[in-house]
Amino acid sequence: MLLDTFPATDQFREHARHATVIPVGAKILADTETPVSVLTRFADASPNVFLLESAEGGEQWGRYSFLGVSARATVTVYRNDVVYRHGIRETRTPHNGAPLDVLRALMKPYTLAELPGLPRFCGGLVGYFAYEMIHFFETRVPNNLPPERPLAEFIIPDALLIFDNIAHTLTVLALAFTEDGEPDALYHAATARVNDLLATLARPADTALRPARHPAAAPAPVHAPGHFTDMVQAVKHHIHEGNIIQCVISQSFVGPAPDDLVSLYRAQRYVNPSPYLFFLKSQGCTLIGSSPETMIRLDGRTACLRPIAGTRPRGATEQEDRKNADSLLQDEKERAEHLMLVDLGRNELGRVALPGTVQVTDLMVVERYSHVMHLVSNITADIEPRHDAFDLFQSSFPAGTLSGAPKIRAMEIIAELEDTPRGPYGGAVGYFSFDGNMDFCICIRTAVVEHGRLTLRAGAGIVADSDPDYEYRETVNKAAAMSRALELLRPRPNP
């Protein structure tokens, strides 16, 4: 049911005088659709597709889901340059050790027309940064990624489908870029694109959770347990020597990928619902993840960090749940680690914030998820006018919860001990919007699929009294959520 179309022709012409990106759209009633049912219609239609959604949380976190169905352009960061692909045109720009400056320059020409009623994201750069991107912010930390591997991959979408999960509506947007032609021709092309997307939506969706034709085995650790426990002992030695206080060490799990990645996303979404759920398909790889943790967010001029540290399982009963929450709140070790990360977050925001605006608005609040509960804090600040989203990102990347403290020394030790690059793990997934906003989560609980192979990593925060065998089991348990998702895709006999 069509509810609205926008803007009118004369309004489009007026927007074209001041803006360089103009959304043209239609709003329909979508009470029989879900973001996943729509994803099934578009996932195979383009090499660049994404779905960003939230399966838990209230209106503030989970109201909108964003589906990008095709790319106007792609941006890939390598060790020495940034590659911009638009149609058949490819441009390589040396970044001279400052890739964020190139991304900022790419975004600078774009100004988004302000249309009433649209959510905070209506286009921009959508993708991920690998953990090794830190090398360009702190050169003491080596870049262990091979030169052919991307340090970041981004999509600039030209069409978006935006679900309002409260109002049960779907907004179909085609983005008109004024550099492409005259306003009337652009408006005609954009409305035609919207109509094409509406026609695709009118077709039935294949929503069956398809069992894998070739069931994938659970991802297995790349190394024997002794390799990881040796790393833990090495970290503890550094701690006892006074080099660091804490360090997050990780290991890789590898296995064959299932043939249907949308079904894997659906299974992961069911097994491990989280505030940040993403299906990110680019030409380099596909990321399927369910992250609980904001890395950094910018809304207007207000920045937000939400460190998570400290975990307990959910109780089988309400009484057991309260008992586990009380245990978490009273655990001195968990509290000390969490406060260390809060201090780190305050310091990182302070680099770009207006003096006196850094505030801890929530401190060590227990947040409950489907299978676990965490200690969560919320830190906000108003950033200085001379800084933008890229400065804010650089000031806080990577998250302290995936590195350690002191942060730089911990990352140097990670580079020494881990014998394979992290890639997307410990990096960030999210977007820089055309209007200057930003939202990135920490890339954890994420499968990276390349060339038929599924890789994921899991880590553990090591402190002075950590038990190596316990920390090894912790990483295995974290990786088990993906194994449970894969299990759902196995064919089952008829009852």
Q: What is the 3-state secondary structure (H, E, C) of the chain?
A: CEEEEECCHHHHHHHHCCCCEEEEEEEEECCCCCHHHHHHHHCCCCCCEEEEECCCCCHHHHCEEEEEEEEEEEEEECCCEEEEEECCEEEEEECCCCHHHHHHHHHCCCCECCCCCCCCCCCEEEEEECHHHHHHCCCCCCCCCCCCCCCEEEEEEEEEEEEECCCCEEEEEEEEEHHHCCHHHHHHHHHHHHHHHHHHHHCCCCCCCCCCCCCCCCCEECCCHHHHHHHHHHHHHHHHCCCCCEEEEEEEEEEECCCCHHHHHHHHHHHCCCCEEEEEECCCCEEEEEECCEEEEEECCEEEECCEEEEEECCCCHHHHHHHHHHHHHCHHHHHHHHHHHHHHHHHHHCCECCCCCEEEEEEEEEECCCEEEEEEEEEEEECCCCCHHHHHHHHCCCHHHCEECHHHHHHHHHHHCCCCCCCCCCEEEEEECCCCEEEEECCCEEEEECCEEEEEEEEEECCCCCHHHHHHHHHHHHHHHHHHHHHCCCCCCC
Residues 374, 409, 422, 457: which is the catalytic one? 374
| Whole-number Å distance between alpha carbons of 70 and 338 | 40
| Whether residue 188 lies in the annotated active site | no
CA–CA–CA angle 179, 180, 186 (5° rounding) = 115
Residues 187, 276, 425, 472: which is the catalytic one? 425
| Whether residue 445 lies in the annotated active site | yes
- Contact yes or no for 198/33 (Cβ under 8 A): no
| Whether residue 110 lies in the annotated active site | no
Residues 76, 286, 294, 401: which is the catalytic one? 401
| Whether residue 74 lies in the annotated active site | no
Residues 338, 409, 422, 445: which is the catalytic one? 445
| Whether residue 168 lies in the annotated active site | no
Residues 25, 76, 461, 472: which is the catalytic one? 461
Is residue 4 packed enough to be buried (19+ CB in 10 Å), middle (13-18) or exposed (0-12)? exposed
Catalytic residues: 374, 401, 425, 445, 461
